[in-house]
């Protein structure tokens, strides 16, 4: 059948699409294969189709040079490459894949937490200021105490929510396979569609399937990851929430005023997530070390390094220094935010800029 006839049938919606392969093509040249469809294909579909056709065409080209099937299979056979540390220990590809997924998930979760709970603190301060409740409360307590009470209160709520989520996840993992026997397989198939999970899954297949995956999970120190997650969750929240509270105290009823003041606060968080995407692959690069030490980015970036373990991803000394710097950063930002909060919470009817807020700090 000619391509003209196929196009006519496609227009009549007799089928969704067709693949046109030239009848005579040069095995040594560039074959033009056209995939014609009634709907636009996504990037993943295009890549998958190109990969499949490229593999078939490559085999045909090689066979056209009088290469036997046995020789072709020998040429296409994968070569095993082992990575061995200086201590003589073989590094597992599955473990690296699992560490990639765990580090990315932990860092991204802290990224979400900083934005969500920081915004809650800012909105809470703004509501108290607009309703004039803060004026009544300040008559009994100091402005700094009021700010810390708001931060600790919302932080406690966030910590309780986090613990509840953790318990629910564990309970669901235990109950769902019993209630829905095929649910685990469906979730696994859906998860493998993401690039991070697909990378871990491919590594598991090359390392012995599920046995390799469980071995990779066993090698990941989840106790250390959980402990560091709690520390960096609290440290990052306390550091950023004080800054969000300072902004909330300086603005009035218009939320747009707050958005204009948030840029210097949100930019380090965005930079941190960008650095983390590189750190999950290269935990010992210079950028990863800097990001895990700098207090404004360490809560997100350090989780990507900790997932690779100690000392492979981060040394104990670097971890301790990072924690100490985060504590120092929290104390410094809280002190600065307190000076802004003290003046801004009682200021009404004036649009505040960062230049003016810096003057409040110098007082």
The pLDDT, as a whole number, for residue 24 is 59
Residue 225 lies in a domain: yes
Owning domain of residue 60: 3-76
N- to C-terminal Cα distance for the chain? 85
Residue 95 lies in a domain: no
Say if strands 83-84 and 34-37 run parallel, antiparallel, or are unpaired.
unpaired
Residues 9 and 142 in one domain: no
Residues 121 and 71 in one domain: no
Question: C-alpha distances in angstroms, 291 versus 243, 283, 296?
Answer: 20, 10, 8
Residues 170 and 241 in one domain: yes
By residue count, the chain amounts to 363
Flag whether pLDDT at 182 surpasses 70: no
Two tokens at 179?
Answer: 């209630």
Which distant-in-sequence residues (6+ apart) come within 8 Å of 260 by Cβ?
A: none
- What tens digit of pLDDT does each residue of 200-239 get? 455 444 444 455 555 556 667 778 888 899 899 999 999 9
H-state helical runs in 21-179: 43-64, 69-76, 93-130, 133-138, 143-179
Q: How far is CA 363 from the centre of its chain?
A: 40
Residues 39 and 181 in one domain: no
Preceding omega of 311 cis (within 30 degrees of 0): yes
Residues 132 and 248 in one domain: yes
User: How many degrees, rounded to 5, is the angle at CA 289 between CA 287 and CA 293?
Assistant: 115
Flag whether pLDDT at 86 surpasses 60: no
Q: What is the mean pLDDT of residues 273-291?
A: 90
Q: For residues 271 and 268, give the distance between their C-alpha atoms in angstroms, rounded to a whole number.
A: 5
Decide which of 28, 54, 76 is a domain's last residue. Answer: 76
Residues 340 and 264 in one domain: yes
Using the structure block, give the residue that is written with the tokens 């005023």. Answer: 257
The whole-chain average pLDDT of the chain stands at 77
Residue 83 lies in a domain: no
Residues 264 and 350 in one domain: yes
Q: For residues 110 and 299, give the distance between their C-alpha atoms in angstroms, rounded to a whole number.
A: 7
Q: For residues 280 and 293, give the distance between their C-alpha atoms in angstroms, rounded to a whole number.
A: 16
337 compared with 143, residue with greater pLDDT: 337
| % of residues, the chain, pLDDT over 70 | 75
Residue 265 lies in a domain: yes
State how many domains the chain has: 2
Residue 223 lies in a domain: yes
Residue 52 lies in a domain: yes
Q: Nearest to residue 36, comparing CAs of 24, 26, 21, 51?
A: 21
- What tens digit of pLDDT does each residue of 110-163 get? 999 898 888 888 888 888 777 777 777 777 777 777 788 888 888 888 778 878
Residue 98 lies in a domain: no
The pLDDT, as a whole number, for residue 81 is 58
Flag whether pLDDT at 31 surpasses 60: no
- What tens digit of pLDDT does each residue of 293-336 get? 999 999 999 999 998 888 778 899 999 999 999 999 998 988 88
């Amino acid at each position: 059948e000619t391509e003209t006839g196929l196009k006519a049938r496609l227009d009549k919606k007799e089928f969704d699409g067709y693949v046109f392969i030239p009848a005579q093509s040069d095995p040594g040249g560039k074959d033009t294969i056209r995939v014609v469809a009634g709907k636009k294909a996504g990037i993943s579909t295009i890549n998958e189709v190109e990969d499949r056709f490229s593999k078939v065409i490559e085999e045909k080209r090689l066979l056209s040079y009088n290469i036997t099937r046995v020789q072709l299979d020998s040429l296409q056979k994968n070569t095993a490459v082992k990575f061995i540390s200086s201590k003589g220990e073989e590094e597992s590809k599955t473990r690296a894949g699992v560490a990639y997924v765990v580090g990315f998930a932990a860092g991204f979760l802290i990224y979400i937490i900083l934005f969500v709970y920081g915004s809650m603190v800012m909105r809470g301060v703004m509501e108290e200021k607009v309703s004039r409740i803060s004026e009544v409360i300040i008559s009994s307590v100091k402005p700094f105490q009021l700010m810390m009470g708001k931060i600790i209160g919302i932080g406690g709520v966030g910590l309780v929510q986090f613990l509840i989520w953790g318990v629910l996840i564990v309970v669901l993992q235990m109950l769902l396979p019993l209630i829905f026997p095929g649910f685990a397989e469906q979730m696994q198939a859906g998860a493998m569609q993401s690039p991070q999970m697909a990378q871990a899954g491919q590594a598991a297949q090359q390392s012995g399937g599920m046995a390799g995956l469980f071995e990779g999970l066993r090698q990941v120190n989840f106790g250390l990851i959980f402990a560091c997650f709690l520390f960096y969750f609290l440290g990052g929240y306390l550091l950023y929430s004080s800054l969000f509270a300072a902004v909330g105290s300086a603005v009035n009823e218009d939320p747009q005023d707050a958005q204009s003041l948030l840029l210097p606060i949100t930019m380090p968080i965005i930079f941190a997530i960008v650095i983390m995407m590189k750190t999950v692959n290269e935990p010992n690069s210079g950028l990863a070390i800097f990001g895990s030490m700098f207090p404004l980015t360490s809560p997100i970036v350090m989780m990507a390094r900790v997932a690779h373990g100690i000392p492979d991803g981060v040394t104990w000394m670097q971890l301790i220094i990072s924690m100490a710097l985060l504590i120092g950063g929290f104390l410094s930002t809280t002190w600065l935010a307190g000076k802004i909060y003290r003046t801004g919470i009682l200021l009404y009817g004036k649009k505040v800029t960062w230049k003016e807020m810096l003057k409040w700090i110098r007082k």
